[in-house]
Amino acid sequence: MPLSRIYKLHLSPDRKYVKALKNLLGFVPGNLSLYKMAFRHRSIALGIKRGGKNSNERLEFLGDAILGAVVAEVLFKMYPYKEEGFLTEMRSKIVSRVNLNQLGKKLGFNELIEFDPTTVNITSKQSSLLGDAFEALIGAVYLDKGYNFTKDFLIQRIIKPHIDIHTLEQTETNFKSKLIEWCQRHSKDIVFELVPNQEGDNAKLFSIQVLIDNEPMATGIDFNKKSAEKLAAEKTCELLAI
Amino acid sequence: MPLSRIYKLHLSPDRKYVKALKNLLGFVPGNLSLYKMAFRHRSIALGIKRGGKNSNERLEFLGDAILGAVVAEVLFKMYPYKEEGFLTEMRSKIVSRVNLNQLGKKLGFNELIEFDPTTVNITSKQSSLLGDAFEALIGAVYLDKGYNFTKDFLIQRIIKPHIDIHTLEQTETNFKSKLIEWCQRHSKDIVFELVPNQEGDNAKLFSIQVLIDNEPMATGIDFNKKSAEKLAAEKTCELLAI
């Protein structure tokens, strides 16, 4: 065991943190400050000098790209006979904020993320803190250890044990949640509004229109409100190419 | 010089093609069939057995992801004090279809791409054949040579000589072209329609509304049509988070 490793794990003032990271990652981190940054939310970073730059947002940008590349390759090789559209759809399912948030929760990120609880609610369904930190962590691993290491780490430690690709393949896309999630990510208001039926006065039909930031999007018409909403959401997703 | 290289460059029936690729890439390709696939458009692949799978679309999916990761890292390191929003915006400029099409043209892809000229017009402004093939080529290089090689290739052979990042930084985004390009990519119709002025009857003001696939999007109001169009395009881009 090299000396630096012994120091990090047993002597350094950060040894508890290093051990927690080792349990999470399966390896002893090299540059600890990268990992600390990956778990530092903007809400707490703003209190620090040059805070914006010290939050995990830049690492999240990098990690999102690295994760996208690794998942693209995994799918490319896993499905040699599927076309590009299928691969794109599968990748969105895997890297969806909902999925990454769940992953962050499962991996115990709650204990690691530094954030300001007076401004951010980590348990809220709207929160993407966990998923964002997951991507930032990938960015940190990449800068610390390089692409091939990060790819192996993602495949062996994350994808194989935690992501059931074949089940995701079967999952029918829920367009309403997809749309709502998209609006949350882009800070847009979304309303499903019951509008007068444009197909004449067939009282049995419901027309639901999606409004995003008060701009009318697609309309769905069906015999019950739920199906009309679903249809309106699907059409809006298509319109926005989400 | 290893024997396989001598064979490929001087003896193989593909030697002309190998030399053309070597000139383009700066290295002798390993698995030639990957590069052939990268330059095979769907229009010609459909004529071949299992054609869809033999076109460059799957490689384009992979190459797009690898390119995104490399560009993310280049920007991350080039701009250590810029926030995530700036990095994201810069990356979209670099990997925009317009930019990649120009790059494909500059690199002489016209000579290499196989496509069916009766169904596809490679010189049309709407065509994304060149940019698509560029991404597919990155996918091929990645599968042939791995991530680090592809990264070096992209940085030394493509980004440094052909992409002026600092000039792109200054370029103000043209929202109208951005929106039109997006609609082309997603096969949507776009119309800029002069609509009755909603701000009362100030005859000097023009209202332009964007319609995408006949669905009303944002409206721009200004004292001349061009500015109203520009504003409507900008608001629609924001609405669609393009």
Identify the pLDDT of residue B5.
Answer: 87
List CB contacts of B56: < 8 A, sequence separation 6 or more: B37, B38, B39, B40, B41, B42, B45, B132, B133, B136
Interchain proximity A73–B62, CB inside 8 Å: yes
- B222 has catalytic annotation: no
Give the model's pLDDT for residue B161. 94
Q: Which residues contact A194 (CB under 8 A, 6 or more apart)?
A: A206, A207, A208, A225
Within 8 A of B76 by CB-CB distance, chain A residues are 58, 61-62, 139
Show the low-confidence residues of chain A (pLDDT under 70): 1, 46-53, 124-126, 172-173, 197-204
**Amino acid B85: pLDDT:** 81
pLDDT for residue B59: 97
Alpha carbons within 13 angstroms on the beta-carbon side of residue A195 total 19
The pLDDT score that the predictor gives to residue A125 is 60
- B64 vs A contacts (CB less than 8 Å): 72
Q: Is the CB of B146 less than 8 angstroms away from the CB of A148?
A: yes
Q: Residue A86: closest CA among chain B residues belongs to which residue?
A: B58
Give the HSE-up count for residue B133: Cα atoms under 13 Å, Cβ half-sphere: 28
Give the pLDDT score at A48.
60
Tokens matching residue B150: 């592809």
In this prediction the ipTM stands at 0.74
Least CB-CB distance to A69: which of B65, B213, B215?
B65
pLDDT digits (tens, 9 = 90+) for B61-107: 999 999 999 999 999 999 998 988 889 889 988 998 888 999 999 99
Whole-Å CA distances, B159 to A62, B74, B99:
18, 9, 12
Give pLDDT, residue B220. Answer: 85
Q: Crossing angle for the helix pair B57-78 and B129-145, nearest 10 degrees?
A: 80
pLDDT of residue A45: 75
Confirm or reject contact between B241 and chain A (CB < 8 A): yes
B contact test, residue of A84, A178, A190 with most B CBs within 10 A: A84
Token digits for B99?
């930019």
Residue B48 has pLDDT above 70, yes or no: no
**pLDDT of B200:** 55
Residues ≥6 apart with Cβ < 8 Å to A1: none
CA dihedral B49, B51, B56, B60 (to 10 degrees): -130
Given a cut of 90, whether residue B230 has pLDDT beyond it is no
Measured CA to CA, the distance from residue B144 to residue B107 in angstroms comes to 20
- Report chain B's mean pLDDT, rounded to a whole number: 86
pLDDT surpasses 60 at B226: yes
Which one of B53, B61, B87 has the shortest CB-CB distance to A81? Answer: B53
Chain A residues close to B82, C-beta within 8 Å: 58
- Convert the pLDDT of each residue in B167-215 to its tens digit: 888 876 678 878 888 888 787 888 888 887 655 555 667 888 999 988 8
Catalytic residue among B57, B64, B83, B111: B64
Identify the pLDDT of residue A3: 85
Cα(A205)–Cα(A191) distance, rounded to whole angstroms? 19
**CB-based contact B61 A84, cutoff 8 Å:** yes
Mean pLDDT in residue range B207-234: 85
Q: Would you give the DSSP letter of residue A174?
A: -
Output the CA–CA distances (angstroms, integers) from residue A169 to A73, B65, B119, B209, B226, in the order listed: 16, 20, 33, 39, 46
Sheet (strand A190-195) strand order: A190-195, A206-212, A215-222
Return the pLDDT at A49: 58
Judging contacts by C-beta atoms under 8 Å, the chain A residues touching residue B57 are 83-84
Q: Where are the beta strands (DSSP E) in chain B?
A: 190-195, 206-212, 215-222
Domains belonging to chain B, first-starting first, are 31-170 (1.10.1520.10), 175-239 (3.30.160.20)
